[in-house]
Amino acid sequence: MDSFDLIVVGSGPGGYVAAERAGALGKKVLLIEKEHFGGVCTNRGCIPTKSLLNSAKLYAHAQDGKQFGVQAEGVSFSLADAMAWKQETINTLRGGIEFLMKSNKVQVVFGEAQFLDAHHVQVANTTYEGSYLIIATGSSPFVPPIPGSKQSHVLTSDGILEIKDIPSSLVVIGGGVIGIEFASFFSMIGTKVTVLEMMSEILPMMDGEFAKLMRRELKGVDFHLGCKVEEITSDSVLYTDAKGEKKSIGASLVLMSVGRKPNTQGLEKLGLDIDRRGVVVNERMQTNLATVYAIGDVNGRSLLAHSASRMAEVAISNIFGSKAMRMRYQAIPWAVYGNPESAGCGITEAEAAKLGIPIKSQTVQMRSNGRFLAEHGKKGAGLVKVICHAHTGAIVGVHLLGPYSSEMIWGASALIEAQLRVQDVKEIVFPHPSVSELIKDACFQLDHTL
Amino acid sequence: MDSFDLIVVGSGPGGYVAAERAGALGKKVLLIEKEHFGGVCTNRGCIPTKSLLNSAKLYAHAQDGKQFGVQAEGVSFSLADAMAWKQETINTLRGGIEFLMKSNKVQVVFGEAQFLDAHHVQVANTTYEGSYLIIATGSSPFVPPIPGSKQSHVLTSDGILEIKDIPSSLVVIGGGVIGIEFASFFSMIGTKVTVLEMMSEILPMMDGEFAKLMRRELKGVDFHLGCKVEEITSDSVLYTDAKGEKKSIGASLVLMSVGRKPNTQGLEKLGLDIDRRGVVVNERMQTNLATVYAIGDVNGRSLLAHSASRMAEVAISNIFGSKAMRMRYQAIPWAVYGNPESAGCGITEAEAAKLGIPIKSQTVQMRSNGRFLAEHGKKGAGLVKVICHAHTGAIVGVHLLGPYSSEMIWGASALIEAQLRVQDVKEIVFPHPSVSELIKDACFQLDHTL
């Protein structure tokens, strides 16, 4: 029987990073993947959606260039070409992961893993032995038992990435990140889009003021909040609205994006503690079995690709490394890549109130910023909010809505991780002109002493 | 005679920020401006160039969208419309500064300032008295005495922002930031552009490897390095190339961008120490006269708008505030906003060698990054380099060439200011997918321990 220092099951941003890091430390590693390198992120999540959103943004810009001096006639969008580019991106990234595995001497087996016990995993007819086991099996779209949800025009985020034609109308059930990104994409390419959300606001991790502005800025999208979907027919979605009235919206396509469930099936023989969110882990990503770790969506602690990668590093640190790393959740950024973009890191005011943390906060309009004005004009909308601890001034939250948000936010993670205070950020020199300057502006408005 | 706590001369990003910050502290402030609010930055520098570059990038994207699924016919560029948008941006920002001055109760006088002594400044027939004086008079384009440089088709960065027609050919004399940004702009809108640079490489603050790639990526631009311009005729620029041969290039327009000189004229009566760079200041921005400060380009220490703003804060801190702030230059970012963008913060390898600082460095290709691939494909070019102190691991330089560079770089300033080490950056969670992740990737390649 082939024996390894580590067996990793699943090659998403949790699993492949774990395998890579362990391989880089000279460990003998087996990576088991049932389908394609990269998991949901590369094949059916982060990457394809960002590729399509980039295409749609270019399409929007090409139509919208006149005021900037760019005239274009006969602007049209080819879904087939956009899908082909998306697929090429996916293929390149799969190849990149394959290369990483080779260069870190990770052995790879394709096939469905059968978990036999804490040290044995079977694929097809072969059993592999591992001193340590990392479960990185991810999550799948959750499809609630709504009548009509099994029809062929009702898709999850998996299926909608494979469609051939631009739908005339789309109803998105669920206004989380996945729902909003697809709503933004399809509205940009000409589909009539409606989002039905059960809660009183979209994007639950987002500051309420920002979520409201996001809805307003997604100009082609109709939102119905606080409503319950009752049934999906061949051409409509029937729901009860916030006032309790029965309503109906025509839909040639329906996206079901109400949430994801951890892929815990097949783990039964291991005797793992599993709760509502997924496999229970401690801050080292260790399960109740000392040599079994669970990272990424399958533990349900933070359903983000970069959280999975970080969990991979924490797990490898604790298995083979310094054993000093712990998973911290207070400075994990998130981003929504629609048009406009949004990103955040740390807590919102609502969360601070719930946690009883005394805070001060300051919001600034992006239209007070030189670069934003140069690129979007004074009618453009965008917000930056900085939240600090009321007593210490330590930065505890940064929230962005507008261009470049997803590429600016990493600095906020650095501020929070380094426990910098408002006064410290005021001493950092931001490049001019850049949208990022607004973070400093907000800090000066929080405290104008020098 | 009207008497003030502070008189600020010049309303650029140094002067208006000084006035704003002092006003916010409740001081009685006079701001004197000879022309328009905002100085070179707003009116003839940072802002108009970024506005035009944004237009040109949109034009480039509209022509280049087919591979992403965006088809457009008859794409054309209207310089008049781009210039009109640019002017509207300028007007909006001037209005913004006017509003800031009002809301911070800063008194404003328009006119040329006559410096009488350390406490008195005259404008037209009125003399104003100030306890403190901040000189923020900026800089002007330097025009070297090259035969023919006074012809009407030879422009500086001031004049080129007012042209009405797209030139068929442009020779840019001087490959610094200003020269390269205009070269990028004009090549994107169809002008045949040649850059003549006296040194052996363009962009002296940039890592050599990056500068070389920048030249390669500015595909429509011809570069001639190590050459000396001898004469400008009505339709050509004559120069001696690096091999000593006489050459000539046709030019319907010539941009003179060899450098800037501090605006120190009129300061004679004050008896200030002035050196080759400008007004001599200490780390508090104080001149040899205890109550006179000089900030921004006029002191020549760092010719960047955001340096001027930071100097303003340091000066106000030392005049009216905690007196604790000092100007630090080691974490001031810079950005070049052409296509591609580039940005950096901290030292290069060449500078480290010159300073005798032992370093380790790591370069990663942007094409290894998911978002970059989704938006630019595997043939796209871009680089990220992280430099750390060889012994401590402290980050001492971050260099970026590629999309979003100008909006990502602020985080590098934060890392350097907070004296974080490679090991610390590896614990920061970067959002996926984002180009910014490459900074973390470089850190893991510098040190893969966990």
* Spatial distance between the Cα atoms of A428 and A418, rounded to a whole number of angstroms: 13
The predicted structure's pLDDT at residue B191: 98
Is pLDDT at A1 greater than 90 in this prediction? Answer: no
* Spatial distance between the Cα atoms of B397 and B117, rounded to a whole number of angstroms: 42
The predicted structure's pLDDT at residue A128: 98
Is pLDDT at B134 greater than 90 in this prediction? Answer: yes
Considering chain B, what percentage of its residues have pLDDT values greater than 70?
100
B36 has catalytic annotation? no
- B384: tokens are 């990220």
- Tell me the domains of chain A and their CATH numbers: 2-141+261-320 (3.50.50.60), 154-258 (3.50.50.60), 334-446 (3.30.390.30)
Per-residue HEC secondary structure of chain B comes to CEEEEEEEECCCCCHHHHHHHHHHCCCCEEEEECCCCCHHHHHHCHHHHHHHHHHHHHHHHHHCCHHHCEEEEEEEECHHHHHHHHHHHHHHHHHHHHHHHHHCCCEEEECCEEEEECCEEEECCEEEEEEEEEECCCEEECCCCCCCCCCCCEECHHHHCCCCCCCCEEEEECCCHHHHHHHHHHHHCCCEEEEECCCCCCCCCCCHHHHHHHHHHCCCEEEECCCEEEEECCCEEEEECCCCCEEEEECCEEEECCCEEECCCCCHHHCCCECCCCECCCCCCECCCCCEEECHHHHCCCCCHHHHHHHHHHHHHHHHCCCCCCCCCCCCCEEECCCCCEEEEECCHHHHHHHCCCEEEEEEEHHHCHHHHHHHCCCCCCEEEEEEECCCCEEEEEEEECCCHHHHHHHHHHHHHCCCEHHHHCCCCCCCCCCCHHHHHHHHHHCCCC
Over range A38-67, report the average pLDDT: 96
B45: nearest CA partner in chain A: A433
Q: pLDDT category, B337, cuts 50, 70, 90? A: very high
Q: Which residues pair with B196 in a beta bridge?
A: B173, B224
The predicted structure's pLDDT at residue A203: 97
pLDDT tens per residue across span A254-301: 999 999 999 999 999 999 999 999 999 999 999 999 999 999 999 999
Q: Are A120 and A37 in contact (CB under 8 A)?
A: no
The predicted structure's pLDDT at residue B144: 94
Closest in B21, B61, B309 to A58, CB measured: B61
Is pLDDT at B1 greater than 90 in this prediction? Answer: no
Q: Are B333 and B397 in contact (CB under 8 A)?
A: no
3-state secondary structure at position A335: strand
Considering chain A, what percentage of its residues have pLDDT values greater than 70?
100
Are B46 and A432 in contact (CB < 8 Å)?
Answer: yes
Within 8 A by CB and 6+ apart from A285, the residues are A293, A294, A295, A299, A311, A314, A315, A318, A327
Q: Which residues pair with A248 in a beta bridge?
A: A238
Distance of CA B367 to the CA centre of its chain: 27
Closest in A54, A370, A439 to B375, CB measured: A54
Residue type at position A69: G
The predicted structure's pLDDT at residue A280: 98
Over range B346-367, report the average pLDDT: 98
Over range A50-59, report the average pLDDT: 97
Q: pLDDT category, A146, cuts 50, 70, 90? A: very high
Taking phi first (over 0 means left), then psi (-120 to 50 degrees means alpha), and beta for anything else, what does residue B237 get? beta
Reported in sequence order, the residue ranges of A301-347 that DSSP labels E, i.e. its strands, are 334-336, 342-346
Reported ipTM: the value is 0.97
Within 8 A by CB and 6+ apart from A277, the residues are A262, A299, A300, A301
Q: Are A10 and A138 in contact (CB under 8 A)?
A: yes
Mean pLDDT for all residues in chain A:
97
Q: Which residues of A117-128 are buried (b: 16+ CB within 10 A; e: fewer)?
A: ebbbbebeeeeb
Determine how β-strand B29-33 pairs with β-strand B2-9: parallel
Q: In what order do the strands lie in the sheet with A236-240?
A: A228-232, A236-240, A246-250
Identify the CA nearest to B384 among candidates B207, B234, B148.
B207
Q: pLDDT category, A95, cuts 50, 70, 90? A: very high
Interface with B, mutate which of A71, A334, A372, A429 (most B CBs under 10 A): A429
> Which residues of chain B make contact with A295, given a CB cutoff of 8 A?
none
The predicted structure's pLDDT at residue B86: 97
In Å, how far are A117, A178, A233, A237 from A152, measured between CA atoms? 38, 20, 11, 14
Using the Cβ of A325 and the Cβ atoms of chain B, whether some distance falls under 8 Å is answered with yes
Q: Are B50 and A374 in contact (CB under 8 A)?
A: yes
Q: Are A44 and A16 in contact (CB under 8 A)?
A: no
Is pLDDT at B368 greater than 90 in this prediction? Answer: yes
* Spatial distance between the Cα atoms of A199 and A189, rounded to a whole number of angstroms: 27
Q: Are A368 and A433 in contact (CB under 8 A)?
A: no
> Which residues of chain A make contact with B437, given a CB cutoff of 8 A?
306, 410
Is pLDDT at A411 greater than 90 in this prediction? Answer: yes
B434: nearest CA partner in chain A: A407
Q: pLDDT category, A379, cuts 50, 70, 90? A: very high
CB within 8 Å of chain B, chain A residues 45-104: 46-47, 50-51, 54-55, 58-59, 61-62, 65-83, 85-86, 88-89, 92-93, 96
Over range A180-198, report the average pLDDT: 98
Identify the CA nearest to B431 among candidates A343, A50, A51, A439.
A343
Identify the CA nearest to A149 among candidates A178, A174, A186, A176.
A174
Q: pLDDT category, B199, cuts 50, 70, 90? A: very high
The predicted structure's pLDDT at residue B348: 97
pLDDT tens per residue across span B29-49: 999 999 999 999 999 999 999
Over range A305-331, report the average pLDDT: 97
Interface with A, mutate which of B59, B306, B428 (most A CBs under 10 A): B428
Over range B297-326, report the average pLDDT: 97
Closest in A61, A334, A432 to B305, CB measured: A432
Q: Are A431 and B318 in contact (CB under 8 A)?
A: no
* Spatial distance between the Cα atoms of B201 and B197, rounded to a whole number of angstroms: 7
